[in-house]
Each structure stands twice: as C-alpha cells, then as structure tokens.
Amino acid sequence: MGSRRYGRYEIETSNEDKPLFPDTGITKGQLIDYYEKIAEVMLPHVKKHPMVLQRFPDGIAKGGFYQKQAADYFPDWIPTVTVKKEGGTQDLVVCDNAATLAYLANQACISLHPWLSRTDKIDHPDLLVVDLDPPGADFDQVRVAARRCRTLLEDELGMTTFLKLTGSKGVHVVVPLSRREDFETVRAFARDAVDVLACRHPRELTTEHRKAKRRGRVYLDVARNAYAQTAVAPYSVRPLPGAPVAAPIEWDELSSRKLGPQSFTIKNIFRRLASRDAPWAAMRRSARTLASARKRLDGLRDEDR
C-alpha cells in the first residue's frame, strides 16, 4: 500500500508494481504517474463530462470491462452526475481534478471515454465527432479521408475542425459546438454531412455500417453523436500493446510519413508536449452553432440531387 496527495485529497494506492502492459512492463504505478502528470493538459477537455471507465484489473492481456455506474466505494469527493438510462438512472463519474484521474488509474482504469456533452446541458453536445475507421492498417487512407472531411466542414460549411489520433486504428475529426443544438439535431447534421462525402467519393469513403459491405473503404462513423455515446478522451491511454495515447495533432502534422494512429505513447507524449503548445489549447474559442453550416449543407445536398 502507498499513498499520494493532491491538494486536499489523498488517495491510497495498491500493487503499483503490477504490470498492466505485459509487452513493455508498464505497471499500474506508471499508469498513475502518467495520469498525474498529464492532468493539466487533459482536464480542460474532460471536465464536467460524464465518464465511462475502461478497466483492466489484471492487465490488458487478461481482458477488461467498461464501467458506467460509479462504484459505491469510490470516495465521496469524486464528483458524479445522475443521468437517465433505459428503465431508470445511473451515476457516472466526472473527472474534474488530478486526484480523480489518479484514483481511477489506481483502479486499473486505463482508458477514459467521456460523453460529448457536459453535465450542465446534458442533452446538448459541445463536440461533433466523425470517427474515421479504416479497413486495415493503411494510414494513407485515413489521411485522405480526413482531408476530405476538412474540405467539406471547413472550406464549404465554414466550421473549424480539429484532429485527434485515436491511439487505435484511425482518427477523429472534431468540431467544437456552442451547445445550442441538441443531440438529435447534431447527429442529423453529421449524418447528412458524411452522406455528402460518401456520395462524392464512393471509392474511398462509406457510411455502410456492415463491414462486409465497406469493400476496403474508410468508414465515416457518426454514431457517437448521440445521447450517452462516448469518444475516447484526448490523452487517454489505450489498452493496446505499447500503451498508445489518443493524441490531438495539428492538421499540418497529418502529412508526416512517420505519423500513425499509435505514434504517441505513455513514453513519448511528454517529449512532444515539451516541444510545442498543446494542439487543442484554443479549441473552445472556435465553438459555433450549426445554424449557418446547416443552411450551407442543405444547399449542397440540393445541388447533388
């Protein structure tokens, strides 16, 4: 047993030498160290968002589970929010401070998956996410798809887009929103936007949910834009060999031939952050309503008919 203090909060830790990533030997203590250190950069993107936890008590080789309901043994100082679910309600964790991140890491929570809305306006998302899911390991397909998204969303619809490596296979193209529209409105907009892209580039992009029908194309997934859905948090560790990190990047970095969806890990992300400003530092200043973009999108859809 050990303990760590974060301001007025103290957490007891256990089994810090327990390996969670067998391939690299990264331990639970190192996972706690990571979330403790990354908190300053990560928290602005996850504060006030309900959180789904992905835990691996025996390490990633043994499998894990998703946890929604906050456990009754969690400390009282960890904030929670009560949200509606089918047949009732549940209390989800909200990560508003470094102590909470460290406590969850001590519970072998490797990945954090926040909702796309904040607790004060739970039905109104502050992000729109297009998940670019490639059929294989060819990241060039993802590069092309991401640029196609940017051309439509920025150049034609007047929105500001941001980019995140998922730490898994693809990238998320993210649009900050002013929280005027509800989930239904945002999801309808996202669906219509990716339909336009798939129609324009049918050999490269698809909105086909069934993998057997994608035929080697990048899947434009907008299902996350709904109540109770999540997207992996910026700077969250992923439960994969090497402990990759979901990393925000600048658009100009997408051209680097050295870049891949798992380029950044627990071991190198801080060198990156030490050498440049955090790519999403000014994101919230770019938040906009969808009203103008919706009118432009409807015009494009009329032209394509």
Q: What's the confidence (pLDDT) of residue 133?
A: 96
Report d(CA 86, CA 280) in Å as an integer: 34
Q: Over range 1-30, report the average pLDDT.
A: 95
Q: Over range 93-112, report the average pLDDT.
A: 98
Q: What's the confidence (pLDDT) of residue 282?
A: 87
Q: What's the confidence (pLDDT) of residue 291?
A: 97
Q: What's the confidence (pLDDT) of residue 281?
A: 87
Band of the pLDDT at 301, cuts 50, 70, 90?
Answer: confident
What domains, with CATH codes, occur in the chain? Answer: 2-114 (3.90.920.10), 120-229+241-305 (3.90.920.10)
pLDDT at 280 > cutoff 70: yes
Q: What's the confidence (pLDDT) of residue 117?
A: 98
Q: Which two tokens stand for residue 176?
A: 């900050």
Q: Cβ(240)–Cβ(60) under 8 Å? A: yes
pLDDT at 303 > cutoff 80: no
Q: Which two tokens stand for residue 34?
A: 């990571």
What residue type is assigned to position 271 of the chain? R
User: Global pTM?
Assistant: 0.95
pLDDT at 68 > cutoff 90: yes
Report d(CA 183, CA 292) in Å as an integer: 17
Q: What's the confidence (pLDDT) of residue 302?
A: 75
118-135 pLDDT, tens digit per residue, is: 999 999 999 999 999 999
Q: Which two tokens stand for residue 114?
A: 């926040």
Q: E-assigned strands of 121-170?
A: 127-133, 162-165
Sign of the alpha-carbon torsion through 269, 274, 275, 279 = positive
Q: Cβ(267)–Cβ(139) under 8 Å? A: no
DSSP 244: B
**Mean pLDDT score across all residues of the chain:** 96
- Tokens 């992000």 — which residue? 127
